[in-house]
Amino acid sequence: MALDSNEHPDKSISKFESMLRTDDVYFFDAEDFEEIIHHYLNNGKISLGKKAIQIGLEQHPNSLELKLLQVEVLAFEDKYEAAEKLLDEIQNLDAYNEEIYIQRANLQSKQDNHQEAVNLLLEALHLTDDSFDIHSLLGMEYLFMDDYEKAKRSFMKCVEYDDRDYSSLYNVVYCFEFLEDFDGAIHYLNDYLERNPYCEVAWHQLGKMYYAMEMYPEALTAFDFAVISDDSFIGAYFEKGKVLEKLGRYNEAIENYETTITIEDPTSHAFLRLGKCHEKLGNTDLAKYYYYNTVHEDPLLDKGWLAITDFHFSLKDYEKALYYINKAINIDGENTLYWKKAAKIYFAMENYDEADFAYKQTVDLGNYELSTWRNWAETLKRIGDLNSSIQVALQGLEFYPENPELTYKLAGLYLKNGEMAEAKKKLAEGIQLDMDKLQLFDEEFPEFSEIKWVKAFVSKIKKTST
């Protein structure tokens, strides 16, 4: 007698594996084979799944469900033509089976034909009343197509079918976020919570929306309710800690971060936040302890290395700061943030040659921030390499053509290099861009601001600009 797959799935699997070992032939219902195949496919045992399909079809050659599982395996192995051919055979036997359209949609999706996949899924919707899975698949296809509005509506339908479908709930909120419709997300989540007042997931997501809108008291309340709904919800404690930090309530934030550590193994992110809080409170030794633990727990977390570097930099312990940022660079030499931080430290140590090299690495790796160009130009000025400093400032202006800071800096650099015509040109441009920031020129190049011809030129440009 065949085993009932719903009541004894483990027995079916054991019996099947016993059959494979002994070469005996046992009979299974088609439903048992489905259970066995699903077990193997879900656990990544594709070869055993294929073996079960083969034997299953030998015993039940007309089983459409087993043939559809064979299609799944063919799709997994990227054998699209064979899968389509088998689907054609199945459709000749059962033209109104929605699973055929779902499988065809899967094949199209795997080949990046997402609109065609959507069309097939919409056809499948017309053939069944059980449309939950189809709406979920539609939502994913719309996400692939960057159509977040339609994706949102599809996932909303999934949540309507099943309030506990948290995966779809997360996707709904994700779509709201991507559309930057935080008000819409808050309204949706509050409606959801009217029906499910003890759903910790929804409270957590609502808190994150309030946090994004800088509505910290509301966010705190939402995270409190998440914790009330599930007092072991680590994510809620962590997010609550972040809100308390924003409110300046560092001791309470520490309590929440410490709670996450007591519930589960500590994470580098928890150590990092604890370090930040203790640093704010002036607890230097504790801050140092947690920062050390951050980088020990996760050496690949750049925020950890930057935090411990900044910590020592703020204490003017440049040697220690340099030690840690060099360790970070040894782990990930292509992290632009590390090189930029190294440049800042070298500059503070007046080691301008090394600062120059670090800024060059920063730019070569793709960091084109305004401060990078400005500080690199300043570094080269300190070295005395005015030509290179001018070239760096000019490169910066290519990215920020209307930036008065770089423009005034370039004017001063041209003056120091004896290029009067270019200096006048840039000085005039700076005044036209932002006359008030002329003081930056006066502060950085005081040796020129009182020269008669410079004062006369600036006065003339000011008059023509007003």
Domain containing residue 408: CATH number: 1.25.40.10
pLDDT at 466: 60
Task: Quote the domain boundaries for residue 432.
Answer: 368-465
Closest by alpha carbon to 312, among 336, 288, 343?
Answer: 288
What does DSSP assign to residue 197? T
Cβ atoms of 124 and 134 within 8 Å: the answer is yes
State the burial class of residue 410 (Cβ atoms within 10 Å of its Cβ: 0-12, 13-18, 19+).
buried
pLDDT score for 5: 38
Look at residue 461 and tell me if it is in a domain: yes
What is the model's pLDDT at position 68? 82
Does residue 241 form part of some domain? no
The Cβ of residue 24 has, within 10 Å, a number of other Cβ atoms equal to 9
- Listed as own residue / partner, the contacts of 61-67 with beta carbons closer than 8 Å and 24 or more positions apart are 62/93, 63/30, 63/33, 64/90, 64/93, 64/94, 64/97, 65/30, 65/34, 66/30, 66/33, 66/34, 66/37
pLDDT of residue 7: 44
Helices of type H across 64-165? 64-76, 80-93, 98-110, 114-125, 132-144, 148-161
Identify whether 347 is part of a domain: no
CA–CA gap between residue 133 and residue 161 (Å, rounded) = 10
Residue 219 lies in a domain: no
38 falls within a domain: yes
Any domain includes 340:
no
Give pairs for 216-222: CB < 8 Å, separation 24+.
216/243, 216/246, 216/247, 217/247, 219/243, 220/244, 220/247
The count of other CB atoms within 10 Å of the CB of residue 227 is: 19
Q: Quick check: is 399 in a domain?
A: yes
Neighbours of 366 (CB within 10 A): 8
Q: Are 272 and 301 in contact (CB under 8 A)?
A: yes
Is residue 429, in this structure, part of any structural domain at all? Answer: yes
pLDDT, residue 462, reads 67
Q: How far apart are the first and last CA of the chain?
A: 98
- In this prediction, residue 1 carries a pLDDT of 29
- Domain final residue, candidates 38, 54, 79: 79
Residue 3 has a pLDDT of: 34
Which among 34, 49, 79 is the end of a domain?
Answer: 79
Query: Where a domain ends, among 62, 79, 96?
Result: 79
Distance CA 312, CA 293 (A): 15
User: Considering its fold, how many domains does the chain have in total?
Assistant: 2
Give mean pLDDT in consecutive 10-residue pieces for the chain, a chain of 466 residues.
Answer: 45 81 78 84 84 82 81 82 84 82 88 92 86 91 95 95 94 96 96 96 97 96 97 96 97 97 93 97 96 94 95 96 96 96 97 97 96 97 96 96 93 92 89 85 83 75 67
